Amino acid sequence: MRDNPLRFFRIGILPMLLACSNLAWGDQFAQGVAPAPARQAELLNLVRQDCGSCHGLRFEGGLGVPLTPAALKGKPVEALRDTILYGRNGTTMPPWSPFLTEAEAGWIVQMLMKGLP
């Protein structure tokens, strides 16, 4: 249930449209294009500090689930990216799509899975 890839289809038309409009970004992500260095620094601060408020500064969990490389191992990247973008209904996880592109969310997943620098 948690990582049901189908959940993407349950969350409504608007996010799907948003996702479509972001397809170009998705392609970039698929080709491994990382955000520009200045944006990377912003994103890393956001992840460490703002995600860290619930998930812990070391991502070992809090109100939110742990996000360490060990905790994320084997989970589908797209489902994780969609959780960041669209939140998780019925939990305290909010959608971050107003602030992040699909490519940026994908890059964040990559960074978390590797372990943040």
**Which residue ranges make up the site for other proteins (CB under 8 A)?**
45, 48-50, 52-54, 56-58, 60-63, 87, 92, 94-95, 98-99
Nearer to other proteins, 62 or 76 (CB): 62
Contact 92, 64 (CB under 8 A): yes
Q: How far is the CB of 57 from other proteins (least distance, A)?
A: 4
Q: How far is the CB of 31 from other proteins (least distance, A)?
A: 29
Nearer to other proteins, 24 or 99 (CB): 99
Q: How far is the CB of 67 from other proteins (least distance, A)?
A: 13
Rounded-to-integer distance, Cα 18 and Cα 34, Å:
20
Could you give the count of Cα atoms lying within 13 Å of 18 in the half-sphere of its Cβ?
19
Nearer to other proteins, 39 or 99 (CB): 99
